[in-house]
Copies of this chain bind each other. A is one copy, B any other.
């Protein structure tokens, strides 16, 4: 396998062609039924599955991730596409509502016949992430949910895996074409300038982004400052704290320590849901057990830029007041950094939260000793918005106040489980208050993610034949969960 091809940045003329093509596709896609859209999603899934033996080796070479992980991630990616195909055929995601005309509506004026559904937004720009070269990249969750919603997608490729991006894009484009999707349903651009240009362009109607806080915020600002602002769904960063109660520590301290090490080192610590901070009681079984834990060897980080950022950030943490090195592998600052755990106290967290709780992308985490379980509520309040917050606790613990605060801070709250490994399901929530997300009302994983890329429209007094199918008295395709006169 040689990756000698140079991939040039998309130039202005190419970008214009891609945008014009996406805008034209939007008008066609909007009029197609859900079964047709489902066919496109399934075709992309089939195409990617068939191309696994080509794509996975390129991904290995570009990202340093091991084959097993990448094959699992590809499986997750194609599962996701097929799940969205099922969900759109079910139709509940349309939140279709029908109010029949009612002359006696108690508002004081007759109620007209009103029927509300959701329609596609138009071209969606998707910014790929580096750390999941399949599941959060070219054909990942944002692309799947935008296509499911009936929108064309233009991906901004991540510079960390350009060749894989191009090959994946080729498979997606060919699969869509073979399934009969209009030209322009999918496009890809390369280079930072193309990404910004996408977000500014009046034809682009929404953005999905997974990446860093500075990069994401800059693009969010462009989206918000357009003459016509558009929704920007960005997942920017998260520390994912874990709170261990005294009872849990007593009952399972050693087990928790072992599992924690497994979670924060998974994927070389390059998961957006990596538990970056764990709170344990003073004099814990957890800490005692860590002495006997051997930190695992992890793989090389995704690329040199990420490795440098990681080394800087663990050096900064080690230099911070009140932080000491707790446990480290042989070469925490090496070419392939071995994991490192640091230790501090709750007091220092309260004094200097910005520095100590900053997200660190790589195999490092911080253990915080607390004095008195009642302080956990105050400590939880220190955090900014999070993707996840986890409890290690026992059922007899007094936890109502802490759980309440964690729910205000995070999109997903876990009980005696670890945040890494985000399942694609109906009830998943991946996104939380800023900076976890730029739009905390949405999720970027799970079937509710489609809602980001559609818009409600009501039809008043319409004859049956001019209504969208899902709003007709007798729809041709299934629509579950229709609300008729306010009743399911």
Contacts and interface: CB of A to CB of B under 8 A. Distances in A.
Interface string A414-437: 111100010111111101011100
Interface stretch (A97-105, A125-133, A312-320): A97-105
A21 interface: no
A441 B424 contact: no
A363 B302 CA distance: 64
A416 B229 CA distance: 32
Interface string A111-128: 110111001001000000
Given A403-B466, A440-B455, A425 B31 contact: no
Given A413-B459, A415-B466, A99 B426 contact: yes
B481 A456 contact: no
A411 interface: yes
A197 B417 CA distance: 41
B413 A460 contact: yes
A76 B111 CA distance: 12
A242 B105 CA distance: 26
A334 interface: no
A412 interface: yes
A124 to B, nearest CB: 13
A439 interface: yes
Given A423-B105, A483-B426, A395 B458 contact: no
B395 A485 contact: no
B483 A92 contact: yes
A294 to B, nearest CB: 25
Contacts of A487: 480
A410 interface: yes
A52 interface: no
A443 B456 contact: yes
Nearest to A460: B414
B466 A427 contact: no
A224 interface: yes
A231 B433 CA distance: 11
A428 B92 contact: no
Interface in A203-236: 220-221, 224-225, 228-229, 231
B408 A456 contact: no
Nearest to A419: B460
Interface in A425-472: 425-429, 431, 433-435, 438-443, 446-448, 451-452, 454-463, 465-466
Contacts of A404: 27, 30-31
Contact of A79 (B27, B99, B106, B225): B106
A72 interface: yes
Contacts of A114: 423, 425, 427-428
A447 B116 contact: no
Interface residues of A, number: 94
A87 interface: yes
B486 A417 contact: no
B76 A107 contact: yes
A399 interface: yes
Contacts of A221: 224-225
A399 B455 CA distance: 21
Interface in A57-116: 72, 75-76, 79-80, 86-87, 90, 92, 95, 97-99, 105-109, 111-112, 114-116
Contact of A98 (B92, B416, B427): B427
A402 to B, nearest CB: 10
Contacts of A480: 487-488
A24 to B, nearest CB: 14
A441 B456 contact: yes
A483 B87 CA distance: 12
Nearest to A71: B108
A424 B107 contact: yes
CB-CB nearest 10 A-B residue pairs: A429-B458, A97-B427, A224-B224, A116-B427, A228-B434, A114-B427, A99-B427, A414-B460, A426-B486, A75-B108
19 contacts: A30-B404, A72-B108, A79-B106, A90-B486, A99-B427, A111-B423, A114-B423, A119-B408, A231-B439, A410-B457, A413-B460, A414-B460, A415-B460, A417-B460, A441-B451, A447-B486, A480-B487, A481-B483, A481-B488
